[in-house]
C-alpha cells in the first residue's frame, strides 16, 4: 500500500551508512599470466587502495595486504600507478610515494629512494630491463618538476631523465617491439584538455630518445592517449574538430579513423594520469569508450571500413575496460545497479560478475527513471543535465505539490554528470527529493566549444546554468520553487557559494571543499592547477578585479540562505582556509552557517565514517531549513 507523506520525509531503506559501508572503488585493470588484476579503494579501511586479482573458477583475492596503499599523488589527483608483468607487481605506495616491486605472497621491496619524488603511469621496457614513467620531483624550492624518466629494474634508482622540456608530461606509450615511444606534454597556463603537444621518438642503443618529433605544432588542440599498433603505426585522440576522436598520426598529418555518432566523443579530461579511452585489437579493430551527453558506451570501430557498432551491454558509465584475446573485462555501471567488474566478450555475451562496487542491493522499484534535459540559460546559452524524480515504491507526496529539488553541481569544472546508478542520489530521491545533476557550460562530453565556453566566465555561466535549471524545472512543475537547494564540491562548491551570494533562487546550500576566495586560491594551490584560473577567470594579478568580483567572500551582503560547509583538513587543492573564511564571515553577519571539518581527509572524503557523517549532516541540515521531520 502506498502512503502519502511530506516530500523530504519519506522513509527509506537507503541510509547514509548503506551508501558508504560495503562500497569500494574499482579501477586500473591489468591482465598477466592468467590473472585479472585491479585496484580497489576501500572506505571502510580509511580509503586505502589495495590490489586484487582473479582467475576463472576462483574467488577474487587480495594480493596487497594492509597497511600498503597503492595510490600516487602525481598532480595531486593521482592516476594509474600499478603495473603487472610476468608475475611481478610494481606499485606506488601512498605513504611515502616510493615505487615498490613485489610478487604475491612476498613483502614489497622499494625500487626508488626515500626522497621527495612521486611516480605514475609505469610502462615496462623489457628490452632494456627498466620502467618508463612520469616522475614529479618535489625537492627544492618552487614548483615541482615533472619529467619522463627511466628506472632500472635492479636496485634502487631515482630515474634517468628522458624528457624535461615542458611543465607537464602525460602517460607514455611504448611500441610493442620497444623501439618507439610516444607521450603528450603541455605548458602553463594550459591544462591537458586545452592545448597539448604530441611527441614521438625512437629509442637509441643507450635507451635515450632519438629523432624526437613534435606532431602538432601550430594548432590549438587537446591531444591525449597516444598508442602504438603492432606495425608501429601511431594513434592518438584529438579534439581538433571540436569532438575528441581517434586519429592515425603520420608526421604532422592526423587522419580520422572513423566518425562516431554525431555529438559523441572518445576521450576526456586527464585529471587522472594514465587513463585509456581506447584499445587497439589484434585484428586491426579499435575498441573505444564513447560518451554522448554523459552517457557512455563501448564502440567497436573498424578503421578499414569506418564501420562502428556498439558492444551490446547495459552501459551508461564505464570506468575501465580491457580486451584480452576473445575476452572483454570492464568496470561497467548501468542505470539500476552499482558498478560491476564483468567478464564478457566483444558481443556482450552472458556477462559474469567478478566484483561489485557495493554490497548494498536495492530493488529496481527504488531507481528513478532519469530524463536527459536541456534548457536555455543566460542571454543565449544552453545547458544540460539529468533529472531524477523522487522515487519510492511505498510513498507518494501530497497531491498538487511539487517536490524539493537538489541541484547537484560537479567539480572540475570539466567533469560530467551521467545517469549511472549512484546510491548517494537514491539517498535523496527515495526520501522525496528531486535531483538535477547539472552539466553546466564547461562540462565534458559536449565538445571542445562547450567545454571552453566557461573560459573567462567561471563563476558566471555555471551559476547562471544552476539558477536556470532550477527555475526551468520549477516552471515544468517538477520542482517546488520555494524549496530549491544547491550543493557541490570543489569547483561545484564555488558555484554553490556564488549562487547563494548573487541570487535568491535557493533556500539552502551545501559546499564540499568549495572556493570562496578565488584570489586566495590563485596564491595557494598546487602546480597542476596553479594557472588554471588564467583560463577560467583571467591572468592574475592583471585581472584582480575579476577575481574579487567573482569571489563570494567579497559579496556577503547577498547571502540570506543557510549554508553548510564540509571540508577536509589535509586538502592541498582547495585549502581549508577557504571554508573557514566564509564560515566565520557569515557567522559574523548572522547568516545561519554550519561548518564540519574532517581530520585526515584530502580533496574528497575517502573514509566511510566521514562519508556517513557528511551525508547525515546534510540531510539533517536540509530538514531544519525546509521544516520537515
Sheet holding 245-250, edge to edge: 223-228, 234-238, 245-250, 253-256
End-to-end CA distance of the chain: 22
Query: Tens of pLDDT along 281-296?
Result: 999 999 999 999 899 9
- pLDDT of 259 reads 82
- pLDDT > 70: percent of the chain: 100
Containing 109, the helix (H) or strand (E) segment is strand 109-110
Write the Ramachandran bin of 447: left for phi over 0, alpha for psi from -120 to 50, otherwise beta.
left
- pLDDT of 420 reads 94
What mean pLDDT is predicted for residues 583-610? Answer: 95
Sign of CA dihedral 41, 44, 46, 51: negative
Band (pLDDT 50/70/90 cuts) for residue 134 is: very high
Query: Tens of pLDDT along 501-526?
Result: 999 999 999 999 999 999 999 998 99
76 and 68 in contact (C-beta within 8 Å)? Answer: no
> Taking the domains of the chain in order of start, what are their residue ranges?
3-15+362-626
Phi, psi of 249 (to 5 degrees): -115, 125
CA–chain centroid gap for 397, Å, is 35
Q: What does pLDDT average to over the chain?
A: 96
- pLDDT of 218 reads 86
344 and 313 in contact (C-beta within 8 Å)? Answer: yes
What mean pLDDT is predicted for residues 221-232? Answer: 97
Band (pLDDT 50/70/90 cuts) for residue 24 is: very high
Cell of 41: 579503494
What mean pLDDT is predicted for residues 244-268? Answer: 92
pLDDT higher than 80, residue 262: no
| CATH no. of 3-15+362-626 | 3.40.50.1820
Query: Tens of pLDDT along 375-433?
Result: 999 999 999 999 999 999 999 999 999 999 999 999 999 999 999 999 999 999 999 99
Band (pLDDT 50/70/90 cuts) for residue 36 is: very high
Contacts of 510 (CB under 8 A, 6+ apart): 485, 486, 487, 488, 496, 563, 564, 565, 566, 618, 621
What mean pLDDT is predicted for residues 544-573? Answer: 96
Contacts of 349 (CB under 8 A, 6+ apart): none
- pLDDT > 90: percent of the chain: 94
Contacts of 277 (CB under 8 A, 6+ apart): 224, 225, 237, 244, 266, 267, 268, 288, 289
Give the span between the Cα atoms of 468 and 465, in whole angstroms: 5
What mean pLDDT is predicted for residues 311-328? Answer: 95
Query: Tens of pLDDT along 75-104?
Result: 999 999 999 999 999 999 999 999 999 999
What mean pLDDT is predicted for residues 164-172? Answer: 96
- pLDDT of 261 reads 75
What mean pLDDT is predicted for residues 344-371? Answer: 93
> Which of 276, 196, 198 has the alpha carbon at shortest distance from 30?
276
| Distances from the Cα of 13 to the Cα of 10, 399, 425, 443, angstroms | 10, 24, 13, 33
- pLDDT of 343 reads 97
pLDDT higher than 80, residue 446: yes
- pLDDT of 361 reads 86
471 and 296 in contact (C-beta within 8 Å)? Answer: no
Q: Provide the 8-state DSSP code for 44.
A: G
- pLDDT of 1 reads 79
- pLDDT of 389 reads 98
Give the span between the Cα atoms of 496 and 2, in whole angstroms: 35
Amino acid at each position: 500500500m502506498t502512503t502519502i507523506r511530506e516530500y523530504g520525509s519519506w522513509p527509506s531503506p537507503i541510509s547514509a551508512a548503506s551508501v558508504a559501508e560495503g562500497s569500494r572503488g574499482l579501477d586500473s585493470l591489468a591482465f598477466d599470466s592468467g590473472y585479472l588484476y585491479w585496484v580497489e579503494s576501500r572506505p571502510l579501511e580509511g580509503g586505502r587502495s589495495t590490489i586484487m586479482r582473479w582467475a576463472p573458477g576462483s574467488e577474487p583475492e587480495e594480493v596487497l595486504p594492509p597497511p600498503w596503499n597503492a595510490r600516487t599523488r602525481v598532480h595531486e589527483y593521482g592516476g594509474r600507478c600499478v603495473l603487472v608483468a610476468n608475475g611481478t607487481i610494481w606499485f606506488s605506495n601512498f605513504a611515502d610515494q616510493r615505487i615498490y616491486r613485489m610478487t604475491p605472497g612476498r613483502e614489497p621491496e622499494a625500487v626508488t629512494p626515500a626522497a621527495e619524488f612521486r611516480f605514475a603511469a609505469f610502462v615496462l621496457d623489457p628490452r632494456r630491463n627498466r620502467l618508463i614513467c612520469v616522475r614529479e620531483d618535489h625537492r627544492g624550492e618552487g614548483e615541482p618538476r615533472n619529467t619522463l624518466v627511466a628506472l632500472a629494474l635492479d636496485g634502487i634508482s631515482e630515474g634517468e631523465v628522458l624528457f624535461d622540456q615542458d611543465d607537464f608530461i602525460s602517460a607514455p606509450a611504448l611500441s610493442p617491439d620497444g623501439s618507439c615511444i610516444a607521450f603528450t606534454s603541455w605548458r602553463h597556463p594550459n591544462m591537458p584538455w586545452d592545448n597539448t603537444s604530441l611527441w614521438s621518438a625512437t629509442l637509441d642503443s643507450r635507451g635515450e630518445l632519438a629523432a624526437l618529433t613534435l606532431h602538432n605544432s601550430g594548432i590549438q588542440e587537446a591531444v591525449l592517449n597516444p598508442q602504438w599498433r603492432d606495425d608501429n603505426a601511431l594513434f592518438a585522440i584529438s579534439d581538433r574538430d571540436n569532438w575528441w576522436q581517434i586519429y592515425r598520426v603520420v608526421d604532422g598529418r592526423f587522419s580520422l579513423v572513423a566518425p562516431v555518432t554525431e555529438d559523441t566523443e572518445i576521450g576526456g579530461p586527464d585529471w587522472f594520469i594514465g587513463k585509456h579511452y581506447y584499445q587497439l585489437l589484434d585484428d586491426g579493430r579499435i575498441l573505444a569508450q564513447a560518451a554522448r551527453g554523459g552517457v557512455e558506451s563501448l564502440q567497436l570501430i573498424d578503421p578499414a571500413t569506418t564501420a562502428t557498432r556498439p558492444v551490446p551491454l547495459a552501459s551508461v558509465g564505464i570506468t575501465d575496460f580491457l580486451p584480452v584475446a576473445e575476452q572483454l573485462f570492464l568496470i561497467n555501471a548501468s542505470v539500476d545497479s552499482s558498478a560491476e567488474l564483468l567478464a564478457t566478450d566483444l558481443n556482450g555475451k552472458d556477462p559474469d560478475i567478478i566484483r561489485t562496487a557495493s554490497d548494498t542491493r536495492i530493488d529496481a522499484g527504488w531507481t528513478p527513471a532519469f530524463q536527459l534535459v536541456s534548457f536555455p540559460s543566460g542571454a543565449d546559452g544552453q545547458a544540460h543535465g539529468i533529472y531524477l524524480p523522487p522515487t519510492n515504491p511505498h510513498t507518494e507526496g501530497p497531491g498538487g505539490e511539487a517536490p524539493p529539488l537538489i541541484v547537484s553541481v560537479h567539480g572540475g569544472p570539466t567533469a560530467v554528470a551521467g545517469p549511472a546508478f549512484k546510491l548517494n542520489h537514491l539517498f535523496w530521491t527515495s526520501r522525496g527529493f528531486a535531483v538535477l545533476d547539472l552539466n553546466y557550460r564547461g562540462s565534458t562530453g559536449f565538445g571542445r566549444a562547450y567545454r571552453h565556453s566557461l573560459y573567462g566566465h567561471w563563476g558566471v555561466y555555471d551559476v547562471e546554468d544552476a539558477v536556470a535549471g532550477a527555475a526551468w524545472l520549477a516552471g515544468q512543475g517538477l520542482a517546488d520553487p520555494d524549496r530549491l537547494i544547491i550543493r557541490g564540491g570543489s569547483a561545484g562548491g564555488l558555484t554553490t557559494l556564488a549562487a547563494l551570494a548573487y541570487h535568491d533562487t535557493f533556500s539552502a546550500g551545501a559546499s564540499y571543499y568549495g572556493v570562496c576566495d578565488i584570489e586566495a586560491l590563485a596564491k595557494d594551490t598546487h602546480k597542476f592547477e596553479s594557472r588554471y584560473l588564467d583560463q577560467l577567470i583571467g591572468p592574475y594579478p592583471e585581472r584582480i578585479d575579476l577575481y574579487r568580483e567573482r569571489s563570494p567572500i567579497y559579496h556577503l551582503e547577498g547571502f540570506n540562505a543557510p549554508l553548510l560547509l564540509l571540508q577536509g583538513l589535509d586538502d592541498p587543492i582547495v585549502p581549508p582556509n577557504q571554508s573557514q573564511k566564509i564560515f566565520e564571515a557569515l557567522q559574523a553577519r548572522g547568516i545561519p552557517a554550519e561548518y564540519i571539518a574532517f581530520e585526515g581527509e584530502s580533496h574528497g572524503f575517502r573514509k566511510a565514517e566521514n562519508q556517513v557523517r557528511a551525508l547525515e549532516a546534510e540531510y539533517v541540515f536540509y530538514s531544519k531549513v525546509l521544516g520537515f521531520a
